[in-house]
Structure 1
Amino acid sequence: MHLRTSAPFPIRRALAACAALIALAAGMPPAAQAAAATVTVENQTKPTRCAEEDNVSLLLRGGVKRFTVEALQPGYIDRIAQDTTAPDFSGCNFDGGDHPTDPKHRFEPRTVTLHEDAEWRIVGMTLPVFWRPQQVPVEVDGTRDRGFHMIQVYRRIDGQMKEALVMYPSDGYWRIKPLPLARFGDGVYGSSMLLGPVRQEGRPVVNIRDIRIRTQPDIRFDLRFAGGGAARIRLAEVSRERTALDVRFSRPVRGMQPFSVLRSMYVAADNADMSEVRWHGSGDAGAVAHMQPLPDFERAPGVGEVRFGRSEPSRHNTSAPDIRYSAFER
């Protein structure tokens, strides 16, 4: 009986090994290796003296269909005595509100609770002024609406709803952060991301045709892009350690068009939402093999994982998270 019950397992292992050898002999990698991918990261940051201006653009290119993006607590989180989150317009040519160069499209402001249960709340918000006129249809568990400039996702912790994600349907931006440590109140966002086929239209954007949000069994956003193709973006984890998104495209964003852009702010190493790029390639051992300060970083091909963050506390948005991309697949 022992031989009969245990025999299939070594047989299956042998068959799998044979299949891998046959694939290698035919010039094709085994399935697990074929799924892995690397990307190219390129820096198009422009200098600024304004701490409220997104001057950082880090482009990710490569024919990937799936990846993970996470917001992680900064490595110095335990050293923060005072979390500085107030706006700083000291080096800016504006003092709040809309950027002076932005178009101004006006709307009837409103706030709508799109979903709420014991654990989650999803809110849609229309702002009085926004820089783009697009009004993207949004459906949440079968209920349809449109015209929201922000969709906010909250998770309950310690009896309170705390925001962990906000996405902007009209221009395709996303911001994520871990649930805040108890001493930090609501916490603060830092860098933002574009997820999908990125285009330049005054600034980098992703044009979205429509959005479907499902709350069971997990919260996920199903997007259809205006130029074709689609994405499913699932909240894989929302915790005090990280907020993680599992991103899957219906088809890769090919050629030189970025599939994601990280947008952020950098004035100086101690006044930035991100100030360093850390990455490793598919052949590098360890979690991080390379690190460069943002002003020195130009381009990195063959990247298997990249983290945009800070080693030293910033005097602005001090607790803002690092952003890490990983698990790229073809």
Structure 2
Amino acid sequence: MGAGTRMLARLALAGALLGAAVASAAPVAVTVTNHTRPTRCAEEDNVTFTLSAPGIEQFRVEALQPAYIGAIRDNHFAPDFSGCDFSGRGNAADPHYTFTPRHKVLYQGRRTRIVGITLPSFWRPARVPVRVAGRADTGFHLIQIFRKTHGHFVESMVLYPADGYWRIKPLPAPGLRDSGYGSSFLVGPIENEGRPVVDIASIDITPAPLSVVLNFVQGGRAVATLEKIDTTRTALRFTLLPGSSGRRPFAMLRSMYVAPHNADVSEVRWRDGTNSAGRAEPLPAVTTLYATDVRFGRSVPSRHNTSAPDMRFSDFQKDR
């Protein structure tokens, strides 16, 4: 066992021990703040929700099938630029750094495949070292993780090392060959460089059981462990080492909302620990809330990314 593999095993063990230490504690509430701005462009991440609280050391992030998943007949994935104008801001205004394209299988197992992709251009110059099953590489813009289902591999999550974004989704629901991504999220020390980012110094991935260690440029790390992946949900448990300071968000949801029928997120459902029934509001009506469990989702089918999952953040834990 190499030094890198031993270190990864120790970090995963630290996360597991911390989980055991706080698992019996009651979930705590965090501050969820809506920074969304209006847009008519379905390809613009205009939705931003921050999650903040001091001392958070563990929480769960889930991708859940939308309530209407069984009624989908037309599963729309195609981009929609009909209401877009990127002049002076947004994706078209981003810097473009050039790279030599690559597509490399970093791990191939019976049920899991991990692929690294370097794009011809990207908006940030960072080349983040990545270690997968003890093998080192660098410079990937996407780390794709596939899970085998019904005889073929389906992408279930992707991590962007150069800016820290995650996207996850459940395995396809019965009757669908695949499902779309929708919202993305960030975990760690979030900075603003024209858009929110997390600067990652290095990444260590253990394929089976799946765990991902993010070592941050500013210090500290996050350990993500796969709790569940099936046709109803994909669930990751995050352990922050050290816990959140409370001076900045420890997590952020990024998404798109034009109208209820054209959105990756159109409503927010949450519990605050005092009302077991929970509450729900349309996304534009939400400002700041305190939640032990918050779900960003849709009840009305969207004409864009129709099968994209709802995103839920829950089980926030502190070291008491």
Fold-level match, TM-score > 0.5? yes
Q: Indicate whether 1:297 and 2:286 are aligned.
A: yes
- 2:138 corresponding residue in structure 1: 146
Deviation at 1:195, TM superposition (A): 1.0
- 1:221 corresponding residue in structure 2: 212
Deviation at 1:33, TM superposition (A): 6.9
SS of structure 2 residue aligned to 1:257: coil
Q: Indicate whether 1:318 and 2:306 are aligned.
A: yes
The match for 2:244 among 241, 253, 258 is 253
Deviation at 1:311, TM superposition (A): 0.8
**Structure 1 pair 326/100, CA: closer, same or farther in 2 (3 Å)?**
same
Q: Indicate whether 1:232 and 2:223 are aligned.
A: yes
- 5 Å-filtered alignment, 1:108-123, equals 108-123=100-115
Is the Cα–Cα contact under 8 Å of residues 43 and 81 in structure 2 kept in the other structure?
yes
Unaligned runs of 5+ in 2: 1-21
- 5 Å-filtered alignment, 1:205-220, equals 205-216=197-208, 218-220=209-211
Aligned positions, number: 295
Letter in 2 for 1:88: D
Report the Cα distance in structure 2 between the residues aligned to 1:298 and 1:232, rounded to whole angstroms: 30
Q: Indicate whether 1:79 and 2:57 are aligned.
A: no
Q: Indicate whether 1:46 and 2:34 are aligned.
A: no
Letter in 1 for 2:235: A
- 5 Å-filtered alignment, 1:100-179, equals 100-179=92-171
Deviation at 1:298, TM superposition (A): 0.4
Letter in 1 for 2:30: V
**Structure 1 pair 256/290, CA: closer, same or farther in 2 (3 Å)?**
farther
Once the two structures are superposed, what CA deviation does each residue of 1:259-310 show, in whole Å capped at 9, x if it has no partner? Answer: 1110000001110000001000122214xx1111111110002x10000000
Deviation at 1:81, TM superposition (A): 1.6
Deviation at 1:34, TM superposition (A): 4.8
- 2:16 corresponding residue in structure 1: none
Deviation at 1:182, TM superposition (A): 4.2
Report the Cα distance in structure 2 between the residues aligned to 1:34 and 1:86, rounded to whole angstroms: 44
Aligned residues with identical type, % of pairs: 50
Letter in 1 for 2:282: P
**Structure 1 pair 115/43, CA: closer, same or farther in 2 (3 Å)?**
same
- 1:65 corresponding residue in structure 2: 57
Report the Cα distance in structure 1 between the residues aligned to 2:117 and 2:23, rounded to whole angstroms: 42
- 5 Å-filtered alignment, 1:191-202, equals 191-202=183-194
Once the two structures are superposed, what CA deviation does each residue of 1:109-161 show, in whole Å capped at 9, x if it has no partner? Answer: 00110000110000000001100000000001111000000000000000000
- 5 Å-filtered alignment, 1:87-102, equals 87-93=79-85, 99-102=91-94
TM-score by length of 1: 0.86
- 1:8 corresponding residue in structure 2: none
Report the Cα distance in structure 1 between the residues aligned to 2:269 and 2:242, rounded to whole angstroms: 28
Report the Cα distance in structure 1 between the residues aligned to 2:247 and 2:260, rounded to whole angstroms: 30
SS of structure 1 residue aligned to 2:175: helix
**Structure 1 pair 115/33, CA: closer, same or farther in 2 (3 Å)?**
closer
Is the Cα–Cα contact under 8 Å of residues 69 and 173 in structure 2 kept in the other structure?
no
Deviation at 1:185, TM superposition (A): 2.1
Deviation at 1:201, TM superposition (A): 1.4
CA-atom RMSD, angstroms?
Answer: 1.7
- 1:283 corresponding residue in structure 2: 274
- 2:18 corresponding residue in structure 1: none
Q: Indicate whether 1:272 and 2:263 are aligned.
A: yes
SS of structure 2 residue aligned to 1:78: helix
Is the Cα–Cα contact under 8 Å of residues 295 and 312 in structure 2 kept in the other structure?
yes
Report the Cα distance in structure 1 between the residues aligned to 2:86 and 2:313, rounded to whole angstroms: 33
SS of structure 2 residue aligned to 1:65: strand
